Chains A and B, each alone.
Chain A
Amino acid sequence: MASVVLSDAEKLYIIHGVQEDLRVDGRGCEDYRCAEVETDVVSNTSGSARVKLGHTDILVGVKAEMGTPKLEKPDEGYLEFFVDCSANATPEFEGRGGEELGTEIASTLYRIFSSEGSVDLKSLCINPGEHCWVLYVDVLLLECGGNLFDAISITVKAALFNTRIPKVRVLEDEEGSKEIELSDDPYDCIRLNVEDVPCIVTLNKIGYRHVVDATLQEEACSLASLLIAITSKGALTCMKKIGKGSLDPESIFEMMETGKKVGKSLHASLQKVLDEEESLGTTRQKVGFLG
């Protein structure tokens, strides 16, 4: 993870500030930075989204391709994640420096989406045992400004919301061979139901309290963090502890409660923005990357 070096006095200032619920930029311990969400930014994908959370900038593209279902689940499609930490984000990611972080994030995403019910995989099936939709989700880190996991999960949810998979029909020939027909209308597509897609909330332990949405400086002051995946209904699907420090079971319980509360408002806010964007339709002014 990109990190900044801080002097001991600076770290002390941050830790004392968190104890008094006033962080360096004036936020409380449970406040997120202002986020900007935009979908449909990449034209040759089935769905895409870009989220800017303070200085963290993430771009996700989803491509739907046809493939064969897995042997143990013949009537379901599946998702494949790939995370690219580009050298644009920080010089540490130059060459193969970003690979370790990329695989860590990708494995976390696999874990979150492995729980039953996060995405309706049965809707991705075309022909049981023969054809199914495979969603290749590619995450690109454009800028690293702290709190990567949260931003990535928000962007993945927004991209899946924006994904449009073309409708296909399976036709049977007289000989029994199946043919797949794509509908002619480019707007005839199926959308995914992202209601139960979880979002990650990272809680960093700083001093005796914990904060949500830490900046790079705050991450440098925290020794242990808890990553939890929360659905919009408040159900906890996955939990992971990162960092070399230790966490008391009492504080883990407190962090979980805070995470659930914050996660629910995160989902509500994200859904509101996505619905607002959808309602604007073609009148929406596309900002893209040059805004």
Chain B
Amino acid sequence: MAAVAMRLPVIRKAVGPSGPRGGEKHLVVPGDTITTDTGYMRGHGTYVDEEKLVASVAGAVERVNKLVCVTPLKTRYNGEVGDIVVGRITEVQQKRWKVETNSRLDSVLLLSSMNLPGGELRRRSAEDELAMRDYLQEGDLISAEVQSVFSDGAVSLHTRSLKYGKLGQGVLVQVSPSLVKRQKTHFHDLPCGASVILGNNGFIWIYPTPEQKDEEAGGFTTNLEPVPLSDREVISRLRNCVVALVTQKLMLFDTSILYCYEASLPHQIKDILKPEVMEEIVLETRQKLLDLEG
């Protein structure tokens, strides 16, 4: 039976701020004066205007000794060495691939930074260059780690570990990079039956947990078997939960996604995206997270 739900819009109210987390944050918008004290060094997101330190982005003020900077709330991904990212190949060039990672410049994946099938260690030859398209084509998704950052801000990636490489079947959700919490590991096998990669650049990859653990995702053979319906339901539910958390501006990490999943179980998968259900689920998740902390 076809379901068409139409409604009148309501002014969205964000779920209220949680209790005091050790001091209120100093939020600013572009043009706000941060301080008139000239003894501070200006960091990112600030500029000096008539002896005042003024913010140039909308975000929270961070103060480290004498350095004042503003970390923006919504921004493109700024790469840092060691970050895990999920990216999409946009171009295949000579000896490298250009990867889109939601940053200001396309990231670069050099042929020499990629593991050859079989794990061989040798100098890349001309045949390897010609066979680049067999490994990764335009449109393919990869998980990689940031190796270095060029002076213009472009990021150089590497997949020199078996856990990185081409991604197979699954669902990609694109969120703002500032909502992904920095953790020790970004690869999670959730107990509900699916796995998730939380890229620091805001690309969240949800996929069915692979059966064997010995041959990991580093290989280039993608599993093209149809995914069973039960796994699909879990993945769709997780995807909707991630979208719900992002709409209500909650930080994304494995615990928050898991709590949101559990809170959403009484509802049907497609109902999770309805505004009132979304609010209810996220409120419950927030409550559970506060209980966990306190």
Contacts and interface: CB of A to CB of B under 8 A. Distances in A.
B12 A32 contact: no
Contact of A10 (B7, B141, B232, B233): B141
Interface in A1-42: 5-10, 12-13, 16-17, 20, 22-28, 30-38
10 contacts: A5-B138, A9-B170, A16-B227, A24-B239, A38-B9, A261-B2, A262-B4, A269-B4, A269-B5, A285-B11
Given A10-B172, A32-B4, A261-B2, 4 more contacts: A10-B171, A26-B269, A35-B4, A38-B9
Contact of A16 (B167, B226, B274): B226
Nearest to A14: B171
Using C-beta atoms within 8 Å of the partner chain, give the interface range for chain A: 35 or more
Given A5-B88, A9-B167, A22 B229 contact: yes
B274 A8 contact: no
Nearest to A21: B229
Interface string B63-92: 000000000000000000000000010100
A266 B2 CA distance: 9
Interface of B: 1-12, 88, 90, 138-141, 167-172, 222, 224, 226-227, 229, 232-233, 236-237, 239-240, 268-270, 272-275
A7 B270 contact: no
A7 B4 contact: no
A254 interface: no
Interface string A250-289: 0000000000011001101110110011000000110100
Interface of A: 5-10, 12-13, 16-17, 20, 22-28, 30-38, 52, 212, 261-262, 265-266, 268-270, 272-273, 276-277, 284-285, 287, 291
Nearest to A280: B8
Given A8-B139, A9-B224, A20-B232, A31 B270 contact: yes
Most buried by A among B12, B171, B233, B275: B171
Most buried by B among A5, A9, A17: A9
- What 4 pairs across the A-B complex have the smallest Cβ distances? A26-B269, A26-B270, A13-B169, A30-B2
Contacts of B229: 20, 22
Contact of B273 (A20, A34, A38): A34
A291 B12 contact: yes
Given A12-B224, A24-B239, A30 B10 contact: no
A269 B8 CA distance: 12
B72 to A, nearest CB: 21
A25 B239 contact: yes
